Structure 1
Amino acid sequence: MSRSRVYQWCTWFGEGRTSLGDEPKSGRPKTSTNEENTTRVDELIRCDRRMKIREIALKLEIPKSTVHEIVHDTLGYRKVSARWVPKMLTEDHKLQRVEISQRLLQRCQQDHGDEDTTHIGVGPGGDFQANNNLFDNLITGDETWVHLNTPETKRDSMTWKHPSSSVTKKFKVQRSAAKVMATVYWDAKGVILLDILPQGQCINAARYCSTLDRLKEAICRKRPGLLRRGVMLHHDNATPHSANLTQQWLQR
């Protein structure tokens, strides 16, 4: 407590004050943030998590400022976005992923290897030779569409605004319809190959095998000795990956 505050309390006690509590304050008493309104606001939010403060105020016929105080200060709510997940997995999908993870863990724990493996790897349904440096020999690949023009998001364009400065404007821009297919291969050390198809072309088995040829050359340049130890190629079971032509390339 500051010295001036101590002097103030001494003055009050000298004038006859005996209570340490706050004195009744003048002005209109606060009635909107009572327990009844708090309960009603909480019930509305629990029924509809996306209801806006303006809608709650209209429904309960109380000021928006009061609703804001109840929601944020009294009830402790805050607006958040839903957590993004790549896919909606069924129970079977989850069990399959657990089983695959357990098999992968077992392979990591194996205490033997094959230093004479010279093929680049095999695709879905194949088999690999286990070794001590499993992830050192693992290369992952996948394709994705890359739009030639991706507009800046609203969050990315946020800036600090001074009260005296004017409001910035941003014109709505649609994502470009023009796009190209990119194939990326990487390992624990980084990207090995980035292959981009000409605009308007899609990946097929023949093109995928051609990309694997370039991948093999990139491995020789960027990961010397890796082909001799044996590479395990990790990709999904998309049609170009599981086609007979691709399987023949992988098994050669």
Structure 2
Amino acid sequence: MLTDEMKMQRKTACAKLLKHYEEEGEENIQRIVTGDESWVHHYGPESKRQSMEHRHKSSPSPRKFKVVASARKVMLIVFWDSEGIFHIEFLKQGNTVNSERYISTLRKLSVRIKRVRPTKHAIPHHDNARPHTSRQTEEALHKMNFVVLPHPSYSPDLAPSVLYLFPKLKEHFRGNHCESDEDVEAAVRHWFRQKCKCVDFFTDGMRQLVRRWQLCMDRD
């Protein structure tokens, strides 16, 4: 659905990001701290693969009813880098992420970075959602001395959480039932702790970002 002008803006931005990466190498990726928001449902329907049943080829197909994600859900806000999770927050259903709320999260992130990576010059990254790019948010980022990694316009698919972290999290939760918001939060935290033990899990997620930049260039 993108116009030629939109595609050119996207490609130009990716070219600049790739050039910067080539100049600084792996260190550039290691400094990125990316964040995003996503809903986590109390119940997510199984994937087609998960719901497959072993049966004889002559057996009639079982009747299956369409199942959708539960209406009860929790908003997950997460920031992470190539080494693991930096900061997690949960919002109850009915709350929204506006500029004021997002700035509050950024302040907590700033404190966390100074405590966990005091020698690391972190580069925050987020997509171009309105709460992330409002004048109020930009002013707050400036006061925190954060220089944000530019995100290409018209490119929600180039956000590391969207292209890597959230799909893996939600795939894990398919078919699981949680009785309460607290159960959801505990399950998400447990999954993140397990992934922090996996060598290169988060590093691979950041490398996916570089591959996507290159893919945009290759496919014009």
Normalised by the length of structure 1, the TM-score is 0.49
CA contact (8 A) 1:140 1:233 kept: yes
Structure 2 residue 46 is matched with structure 1 residue 152:
yes
Match of 2:17 in 1: 104
Measured after TM superposition, the shift of residue 202 of structure 1 is: 0.4
Q: Give the 3 Å change call, closer, same or farther, for CA 247–164 of structure 1 in structure 2.
A: closer
Render the CA deviation track for 1:116-136: whole Å, top value 9, x for unaligned: xxxxxxxxxxxxxxx982212
Q: CA RMSD in A?
A: 2.8
Alignment counterpart, residue 248 of structure 1, candidates 139, 142, 146? 139
CA contact (8 A) 1:149 1:175 kept: yes
Q: Give the 3 Å change call, closer, same or farther, for CA 237–172 of structure 1 in structure 2.
A: closer
Match of 2:35 in 1: 141
Structure 2 residue 21 is matched with structure 1 residue 89:
no
Q: Give the 3 Å change call, closer, same or farther, for CA 91–190 of structure 1 in structure 2.
A: farther
CA contact (8 A) 1:184 1:194 kept: yes
Measured after TM superposition, the shift of residue 194 of structure 1 is: 2.4
Render the CA deviation track for 1:38-69: whole Å, top value 9, x for unaligned: xxxxxxxxxxxxxxxxxxxxxxxxxxxxxxxx
Measured after TM superposition, the shift of residue 157 of structure 1 is: 0.6
Alignment counterpart, residue 235 of structure 1, candidates 112, 116, 126? 126
Task: State the alpha-carbon separation in 1 of the partners of residues 26 and 46 from structure 2.
Answer: 45
Measured after TM superposition, the shift of residue 167 of structure 1 is: 6.3
**Runs of 4+ off more than 6 Å:** 163-167
Q: Give the 3 Å change call, closer, same or farther, for CA 164–95 of structure 1 in structure 2.
A: closer
Measured after TM superposition, the shift of residue 103 of structure 1 is: 1.0
Total equivalences in the alignment: 143
Match of 2:87 in 1: 193
In structure 1, list runs of 5 or more residues that go unmatched: 1-87, 112-130
Q: Give the 3 Å change call, closer, same or farther, for CA 222–90 of structure 1 in structure 2.
A: farther
CA contact (8 A) 2:113 2:122 kept: no
CA contact (8 A) 1:205 1:246 kept: yes
Normalised by the length of structure 2, the TM-score is 0.55
CA contact (8 A) 1:180 1:201 kept: no
Secondary structure (helix, strand or coil) at the match of 1:98 reads helix
Structure 1, 199-208 or 178-187: larger mean CA deviation: 178-187
Alignment counterpart, residue 109 of structure 2, candidates 184, 195, 215? 215
More RCO (CA 8 Å, sep 6+): 2
Measured after TM superposition, the shift of residue 142 of structure 1 is: 1.5
Report which of the two structures shows the higher radius of gyration computed on alpha carbons. Answer: 1
Render the CA deviation track for 1:82-127: whole Å, top value 9, x for unaligned: xxxxxx433223212221122112223447xxxxxxxxxxxxxxxx
